[in-house]
Structures are given as structure tokens and as C-alpha cells.
Amino acid sequence: MHILALLVFPFLSTASVLQRPRDHEHPHNVEKRLPSTWYHHPDHPVHSLFRRGDTDGVTYAPVGSDEWAAGYPPDPPASPDVKTMPAAWLAALNDAIARKAIPEIPLTTAPSEDDNPVYPKGVDPNSPEICSSTYQCRIDGQVWDAPDSTLGLSFDDGPEAGSNKLIEFLKTNGQKVTHFMIGSNIRNNPDAFTQEFDLGNDIAVHTWTHPHMTTRSNEEVVAELGWTMQIIHNSTGGRVPKFWRPPYGDSDTRVTAIAKEVFGLTTVIWNQDTSDWSLSDSPPGTTAAKINSSMTQWLTGPKSPGLIILEHELSEQAVATFMSAYPVMQKNNWNVMSLAQLIGHNASYQNSDNNDSPVNAVDVINAKSGSPPQRLTPERLTPERVLYSRRFSY
Ligand SMILES: [Zn+2]
């Protein structure tokens, strides 16, 4: 065991430094615990953070309408202005900080999109205090692997140029997937968003402007997640996403804690990376042939753990590599599912099972004013919902 450790760890540290941020493979991950214990505040129903006056819970502005598009931050590259975010989000952050639920660790700097973010000199990204996913360190509660024999399908960065091709393929094959969406892309591509949601696919969070999140302040992390949750909530009949994926897979104890403590979001990474995002770069960073070869290797290999493969709907070329691999997934008897359904135990949202099931909003405002809050469906009580419902003695 000691000999093995000696052999593995020097390799690990070298490999981590050399890897490009989107080229991650994670064969040698180190399990780390968060320095502080998770606890979800019982007075903190996430749904209450997204209430928007009369429109919430009753009717929502039609997706794509001017009314719908209004009220969100300007287009990237500017990150959402933290001064304009709802006071309730900031209050939830300050509450989490007061509970000492958010680790106080340094921010990173990332000179460019292609550079790994770095911590100040002397800070070890693999230490339990930091545990950066960019450097392959895993935090308890994050999702990196799928259960044995299962393959959780997900696509990042949409709605984007590859979305229509993906939609057609999913429709033809009756396959559902999870879309980790960029909030500003939803606002700019409402038709593709609507089609993907209406097909029964699960919608999850991939931030508003796609930054390296460890470079962002606590308030900026809240704004990036909050606005994306808000537009998903307002465009799906009030559903609150359960999962988010950090852009470039970049998170640490601080970012992971903000996502969980402020918004109830579980951080999802991956265990295999196609690098399909780079197919549409000039020059391309990989080829369809290379991706096919990697896919074949993973899909014909061991089924433990199950697969979470990083794929994108950024381009038609990227979607085409998924289409080629799909029959191989079937042929090799993988249980292929939408990732959110798979890891969410058949509930893709914090307050709803899927796109057809009822939205179980725990209505704090009504509860406080004496009106009976909406009941949760007993057979679908997740731990979070049990916590929320306990307050109201359902
Ligand atoms: Zn991305």
C-alpha cells in the first residue's frame, strides 16, 4: 500500500499541473472531506429565493416573450452585477457565512480560458481545506461517478449551435438527457430551450456567463448560480434545479458549499471527458475519430463505476460524436438514462420529479400568512424535502 502510494502520488501532482482544464480524466482521484460538516439550514427553503411577486406560482411570462426576457443581467462577458441581485440571495449567503458553512479560502486567478486557475503561492489545491476539482480532488457530496452499469447522459453549454441536431436525435430515439444550461444562452435561444424542456429532458445549471467559478467572489458565485436558477425556474413552471456543473469542472470547498448552502444545488463533475467542445475550435483540438475511439474504449470496458461522460451541445460536430456512440451504448447493455434522473433517484428537481409531475412548492409566504402550504408527495420525499417539510409538520 505504501509502495503504491509512493508510485501514484508523484505522478498525480505532475499530471494535475500539466492538464488543460477541459481535458480532465479522473482515474486517480483523492477522496477528501469538507473541513466543516454540511448542514442545510431548516429555515432555508430554496424555492423562496426565486419568488417574483404575483407571477410566481400562478402564471409565468411565456418563454421568449419580451416580458420574460426582461429583468435578467446583460449578456456576457460581463458577469452579473452583484449589486443588482435580489436581496434574498445575499441574505441567504450571509446567513450561510454566519453559520460558518462557507469555507474562507483564497480565490484563484486564471489568466485565460485555457489556463487552469491557480491559488496563491503556498496554497495546496489538493488539501482538504481547498479540494479543487480542477486538480482532481473530490469533495463528499459531489457527484463524479454513476452507479455501476449505468450511464448518465448530459450535455453542457446549451442551448447552442448543436441543440437542434441533438433535439432531432433525442426525439427519434425517445431518449431523455440532462442539459447543463448557461443562463444567458437560455435567454438568447428560447426556442431551443422550450423544445428541449418540452421533450421531457431535465434542465440543470451551468452558470450565467461560464466563468472559472473559483476565480469569483462569494457574491459573484451566488449571482452566477442564482440568475441561472431564476431563469430556469421562471421558464419551467416553477421548477427549482437540483444539480449544477461548474464550467471547466472548476470548483472547490468554497464554491461547492455556496451552491449547496445557498441554493441546495449538488455539484456534478464527470469521470470521462470527450473533449468534444474543441471540435469547433480553429484549429480543432481533437477529431471525431479520436472521440469515437475513446468512447468505444469506455463503453466496452468495465461497468464499475458507471459512466458520466462530459459532452457538449456546442456544435453539430460534437453532437454527431454522441450519435455515433449511442448504438455502442445500447449494444454493450449500459442502462442509459438522463443524468439528473439517475443521480437524483428519479427526481430531477428540488421540488418536482420531472417535467410532467407536479411542482411541490413549499410555500413559506403562504405558510406564514396562515394559508395551508402545498403538500409534498409522500412517496417522493428526498432528504432535502423532508428537511423543508419538517418545519411545517406535514
Ligand atoms: Zn461548459
Average pLDDT over residues 266-272: 98
> Coil, helix or strand for 39?
coil
State the SS3 of 345-360. Answer: CCCCECCCCCCCCCCC
**pLDDT at residue 46, as a whole number:** 75
322-330 mean pLDDT: 98
Distance 358 CA to ligand 1 centre (A): 30
Which residue would you say has higher pLDDT here, 59 or 173?
Answer: 173
Q: Would you place residue 60 in the very low, low, confident or very high pLDDT band (cuts 50, 70, 90)?
A: confident
194 Cα–ligand 1 center, Å: 20
Q: Is 345 helix (H, G, I), strand (E, B) or coil?
A: coil
Answer yes or no: are the C-beta atoms of 192 and 79 closer than 8 Å.
no
Q: Tens digits of per-residue pLDDT, 192-223?
A: 999 999 999 999 999 999 999 999 999 999 99
Q: Tell me the pLDDT band of 317, cut-offs 50, 70 and 90.
A: very high
Q: Higher model confidence: residue 37 or residue 111?
A: 111
Let me know: does 132 contact 105? Beta carbons within 8 Å.
no
Q: How does residue 49 score in pLDDT terms, banded at 50, 70 and 90? A: confident
Residue pair 189/163 in contact by the 8 Å Cβ criterion:
yes
- Averaged pLDDT for residues 307-333: 98
Name the pairing type of β-strands 243-244 and 266-267: parallel
The Cβ of residue 112 has, within 10 Å, a number of other Cβ atoms equal to 6
Rounded Cα gap, residues 380 and 373, in angstroms? 17
Question: What separation in Å is there between the alpha carbon of 157 and the centre of ligand 1?
Answer: 5
pLDDT at residue 135 is higher than 50? yes
Among 80, 56, 101, CA closest to 365: 56
- Asked which of 80-84, 265-269, 339-343 is least confident by mean pLDDT, the reply is 80-84
Is the pLDDT at 7 greater than 50? The verdict is no
The predicted structure's pLDDT at residue 77: 80
How confident is residue 44, by pLDDT bands cut at 50, 70 and 90?
low
pLDDT for 358: 86
117, 215 in Cβ contact below 8 A? Answer: yes
Mean pLDDT calculated for residue range 254-282 = 95
Q: 156, 250, 276, 353: which is the annotated catalytic residue?
A: 156
* Residues in contact with 220: Cβ distance below 8 Å, sequence separation at least 6, in sequence order: 79, 80, 82, 211
For residue 129, what is the DSSP state?
T
Please state which of the ranges 181-190, 350-359, 376-385 shows the lowest mean pLDDT: 376-385
Residue 340 cell numbers, joined:
439528473
Active site residue 312: yes
204 Cα: distance to centroid of ligand 1 (angstroms)? 12
| List 206, 210, 312, 363, catalytic entry | 312
Give the pLDDT score at 41.
41
Of residues 241, 267, 260, 197, the one with CA closest to residue 350: 241
Residues 33 and 159: their CA atoms lie apart, in Å, by 34
CA 3 to centroid of ligand 1, rounded, Å:
38
Point out which residues pair with 204 in neighbouring strands.
180
Question: By three-state DSSP, how is residue 63 classified?
Answer: coil
Full set of structural domains in the chain with CATH: 46-359 (3.20.20.370), 362-394 (no CATH)
CA distances from 338 to 108, 264, 328, 375 (A): 32, 20, 17, 27
* CA distance linking residue 344 with residue 283, whole number of Å: 38
The alpha helices in the chain, defined as continuous H runs, are 2-18, 66-69, 87-98, 163-173, 183-188, 190-198, 218-235, 253-263, 288-299, 316-331, 339-343, 364-368, 383-390
Cis before residue 74, ω within 30 degrees of 0? no
Alpha-carbon span 108 to 246, nearest angstrom:
14
Task: Specify whether the CB–CB gap between 334 and 149 falls below 8 A.
Answer: yes
Q: Verify whether residue 345 is a known catalytic residue.
A: no
Distance 183 CA to ligand 1 centre (A): 11
Check pLDDT > 60 for residue 252: yes
Please check whether residue 368 is in contact with residue 231, taking contact to mean a CB–CB distance below 8 angstroms: no
> 315 falls in which pLDDT band (50, 70, 90)?
very high
Confidence of residue 37 (pLDDT cuts 50, 70, 90): very low
Q: Tell me, what's the pLDDT at 306?
A: 98
